[in-house]
Structure 1
Amino acid sequence: MDITELILDDHHEQRRLFAIVEQIDRAETEVLSAIWDRLAAFLELHAQAEEEIFYPALLQEGMAARRTGVVEDETLDAIHDHNDIRDAVAEVARHQVGTDEWYAAVAAANRANGDHMAEEEREGLTDFRRLAGLRTRHRLAVAFAAYEARNYAGVRSVDKDPDAYVRAAENLETPASGSLSVGGLKPS
């Protein structure tokens, strides 16, 4: 098991759920609502799992490899993207399901999420595979899977300050939103 593969699996599921929403008749508002609610909860759970487990490890591995600037930039961008996705998901909730405005907001959330996933797949995940050994990636995958399983019903959506997040993760401090010290994140 590899945390980068689990993240890619989540990305595939997110893309699949957005595609399902696009294929449901707009008159089937109960179904649209149910699928959207699942997707919105999943997007937040995935972001929180990355913020708790993946990005602190990426920063620690990057610092150990003397690539601090690169991994800081990737992490700052990812946290900013997560906030944009949260805002887009919140915008969907402001509209009646099945209306043109609702579909436009869902499309905006899909674009924000798609842009984030593409960038993360090109940069953060690639860098992490280069920086972290298989043992570390496996240990983090176990923590990631456990986090998502423990929180299957969803987590509260909270925007984070990207700069404060990076400072806390680099020091392995505990930010106001939760613990970054999952399983003693030391470089491999």
Structure 2
Amino acid sequence: MDITEIILNDHHEQRRMFGILEQVSPDNTEALGSVWKRLRILLEVHAAAEEKLFYPRLLKLQQDLIARESPDEETEDAVHDHNEIRDAIAGVEGEAVGSVEWLRAVAEVNKVNGDHMAEEERQGLTDFRRHVDLEERHAMAVAFAAFEAEHAGGIHAHDVDPQQYLRENG
């Protein structure tokens, strides 16, 4: 077990669930609402787990020789991305399930989340595989999985100030 694999598996599940939402008829509001609720929880808990367990360690890494950004910049950008995802999720919550506005809001969450995942997979996860040994990645994976299991019913999501986060975790 490896923290980078756990995160990638979560990303795969997020993509899968967005795909399900795209295939359900807008008239099937019960199914849409149920899948969205599960996806919203997954997105929010995943972000909180990364902010608690993954990004503090990423901040401690030295910059990779081919990286364009330092770990500080990567982490600040990732926390900012999480805020964009949280804000997009909030935009879904005010719309009627299955409505055109709701579908557009879900599509916006998919877009900002997809952008974040792609960047994280290219940068932070690569840095981790290159610079953090498997034993530590395993221990982090166990903690990450436990955090997600503990919060499987959801969390109270809130935006995080990226600069304050860096000061507290850097």
2:21 — aligned with what?
Answer: 21
TM-score (norm 1): 0.86
SS at match of 2:70: helix
Deviation string 1:112-153 (CA, Å, 9 cap, x unpaired) is: 000000000000100111111111101101110111111111
Q: What is the alpha-carbon distance in structure 2 between the residues aligned to residue 61 and residue 72 of structure 1?
A: 9
Q: What letter matches 2:83 in structure 1?
A: N
1:153 — aligned with what?
Answer: 153
| Cα shift at 1:167 | 1.1
1:60 — aligned with what?
Answer: 60
Q: What is the alpha-carbon distance in structure 1 between the residues aligned to residue 23 and residue 159 of structure 2?
A: 30
Q: What is the alpha-carbon distance in structure 2 between the residues aligned to residue 77 and residue 162 of structure 1?
A: 8
Deviation string 1:31-66 (CA, Å, 9 cap, x unpaired) is: 100100110111000000000000001112338x9x
List aligned pairs for 1:33-112, cutoff 5 A: 33-62=33-62, 70-112=70-112
| Cα shift at 1:166 | 1.0
Question: Where in structure 1 do 4 or more consecutive aligned residues deviate above 3 Å?
Answer: none
Listed as ranges, the gaps of 5+ residues in structure 2 are none
1:176 — aligned with what?
Answer: none
1:164 — aligned with what?
Answer: 164
C-alpha RMSD of the superposition:
1.4
The sequence identity of aligned pairs, in percent, is: 55
Q: What is the alpha-carbon distance in structure 1 between the residues aligned to residue 151 and residue 98 of structure 2?
A: 28
Listed as ranges, the gaps of 5+ residues in structure 1 are 171-188
Q: What is the alpha-carbon distance in structure 2 between the residues aligned to residue 16 and residue 37 of structure 1?
A: 14
Q: What is the alpha-carbon distance in structure 2 between the residues aligned to residue 14 and residue 91 of structure 1?
A: 18
SS at match of 1:158: coil
